[in-house]
Amino acid sequence: MKLARIGNAGSERPAVVAPDGSFRDLSDHVDDITGATLDSETLGRLAALDPMALPEITGRIGACVGGIGKFLCIGLNYSDHAAEAGMAIPEHPILFLKANSAICGPNDDLIQPRGSQALDWEVELGVVIGKTAKYVDRTTALEHVAGYCVINDVSERDFQTKLTGQWTKGKSCDTFGPVGPWLVSADAVGDPQALDLRCDVNGTTRQTGSTATMIFGVADIIAHLSQLMTLHPGDVISTGTPPGVGMGMKPPLYLAPGDIVECSIDGLGTQKQGVVADV
């Protein structure tokens, strides 16, 4: 099952993606796609509906999860990306948070902040929590996942590394968190460690990789984080990026207004952002 949110920012309506690719309105069945509706019982009830019997809905695609609680991100989770960044493979998952104000729709404009000279892309697998997780182990961790989605962990490298502080500074600008286009239920994805990722910039492929090469898999990440904090339904984890980011090129290659970024993951869809300058 693929769930989406359609409508103008702040007034999105819940939808399911029908077999013909159209969006079908779920407003008569749930208020929104949020942590409150990601439990197994509600997801099972939605999965039992006939999408083609629901009214079609069109418009802007919003972030596939509304009211996200925590936006947790894992850094340097692919060994070849750590190498291109010139950093050691971590002993434990590196964690940083992205401000929720960065969250936007998958095809919204990517706004380059004032003073930005090092705007970069990072295609990542997003994990959406559907069941409260605290002190879980890796053998049961995936039971707490509602589904998966595409995330572009947009980064401003100078803000990230030169402004004195944590990575969050370079990860949290407005529109730096496109989420979607849709949330694919965990049962429809199967093994989250068998997904191919890709990022194209202006039609040229810059990143390719597989979640099979993660240093810390999804189950390990959830188990680790749940020892540190309670993971709640609607929390989102961005699990790291494969090699090919602009920072790792020689010389570095960064985004500028007019550029187009497309991020895709097998079975999870594609998101596409056009870069525009902030006013």
Q: What is the mean pLDDT of each run of 10 residues along the chain (279 residues)?
A: 98 98 98 97 97 98 98 92 82 96 98 98 98 98 98 97 92 98 98 98 97 96 98 98 94 98 98 96
User: Which amino acid makes up residue 158?
Assistant: D
Confidence at residue 115, expressed as pLDDT on a 0 to 100 scale: 96
The answer to whether the peptide bond before residue 251 is cis (omega within 30 degrees of 0) is yes
Three-state secondary structure call for residue 65: coil
Model pLDDT, residue 256 = 98
The pLDDT mean for the chain works out to 96
Predicted pLDDT at 156: 98
Q: Give the Cα separation of 103 and 149 in Å (integer).
A: 13
State the pLDDT at residue 279. 85
Q: Which of 240, 255, 214, 262 is nearest to 126 (CA)?
A: 240
Domains annotated on the chain, with CATH? 65-277 (3.90.850.10)
DSSP 8-state secondary structure symbol assigned to residue 247: G
- Measured CA to CA, the distance from residue 129 to residue 141 in angstroms comes to 10
Distance CA 238, CA 218 (A): 10
**Tokens at residue 222, please?**
């959830």
Question: Phi/psi of residue 253, each to 5°?
Answer: -125, 120
pLDDT for 79 equals: 84
The CB density around residue 139, as the number of other CB atoms within 10 Å, is 9
| Length of the chain as a residue count | 279
Tell me which residue of 204, 199, 202 sits closest to 257, measured CA to CA. Answer: 202
What does the pLDDT read at residue 89?
A: 86
What pLDDT is stored for residue 165 in this prediction? Answer: 84
